Structure 1
Amino acid sequence: MLLLALDTATPAVTVALHNGARVLAARDQVDARRHGELLLPAVDGTLADAGRTLHDVTHLVVGVGPGPYTGLRVGLATAAAFSAALGIPVHGLCTLDGIAYAAGLAGVKGPFTAATDARRKEVYWARYADARTRTGEPAVDRPADIAAQVAGVPAVGAGAALYADTFTGLLPGAPQHASAAALAALAAARLADGEPFLPPLPLYLRRPDAKVPAGYKAVTPPPEPRPEPRAGGR
């Protein structure tokens, strides 16, 4: 097995290659504005670092979010394109699950919460019994609205760090952004155990920021109706 993992649901553009036993190569760069520009070079670099080519890959895994609309779609569209071109499966994993698994690899014990920045003064977050066991569905909330639920609970992720006055159990040095190396290791473990994956579809949790303006008017006028043909005419 040669598994290529990628995630663009957080400010990190992250790619990793895993052979089922260990990570062979990985590249990570944090830049929330350049997902589309950085992802393919990161894929090429990761494959080159491992001495492999894209045609050697047998499985794909992609973080499905939750995450901001534009960045999230970069990774999902790229994974879908690779899957179609290579004829290999693509598996979806919750990005928060990848962060939680990375926390476990870093020695964090459960229970804990994982949270990322959702912008608009909100966070995407979920609870975990341990690094592989999420205890509920991911949610998007204002930190003040969940303060009673997360206060004092160990917490990881950039969302928890951004609102440390709410996530008072923030663990210093814990993972903040998505890590494709952790995502790949989690996917390899799930494949070995026969566990299910999510479909490779975006987990937005809310509507995109872009909206059609109120009072929008079409620029091109509708075509004029054609005259009805006369009876008996040609």
Structure 2
Amino acid sequence: MKILAIHSSPRPRNLSHTAVMLGASRAYLAERRPAWRYEETALWNLDITTCDGNGRCFRRDGCTFVDDAESLIDAMLAADGVILASPNYCANVNSTMMRFIERTTRLSHRQLLAGKGALAMSTSASPFDAPYAAEYLRRVLGSYGASVVDVCNIGSPMIVFDYGDTAAGKAMRTSLDAFISAVESPSEHVPEETFGVDIRRSLREHPEVAKRLFRSDERYFAEQDRTMKERPTDDASH
């Protein structure tokens, strides 16, 4: 199994609560599933252009901008499990994570992470429960079609660097155990609710409008349906 963790902390690794949390997460996953491959990417230094709403991804396909966002999306598609992590900024993810998410529209429209496990993580300076960023990331991952589990938010700078036998460590390990289950048995963790536009439903219920607005998605689903119809059945293959 291949796990990809993406975080948006702007701080150097030894000063980043989010990066330290992911380091502890990596160590725990290596202990529980030593054969799994783990990769981690920090968004802060990547070349990710802000989405300008030009609509090319709706009309044709792909994106106008050729930068690190596209290769990172490809890495998400190649992974078996995806972790998104952000510090809490003003009760949400920071602008670095938001800029990347705004470039991932096709993941939501086509639910391209279906069959993959996912975990949303966040850190906050507050010692009180403040999972706002993680809750948002959980909904985003669910809109991608991923099998998501309960969020993990670690607060209070007094303990955030200690993931041993502490409340923070126990909370992190509980979330990672659930994430392991979602990666290995994604059908058991399909979210009941997500947000975003259900393109398949829109194409079915409002075909004239939806086909005009989302031409590239309409072609994608039409090709997918065509491939399914042309696939030989078990009886025909014997």
TM-score interval, normalised by the smaller of the two chains? 0.3 to 0.5
Q: RCO higher in 1 or 2 (8 Å CA, sep ≥ 6)?
A: 1
Higher helix share: 2
TM norm structure 1 = 0.32
Larger radius of gyration: 1
Higher strand share: 1
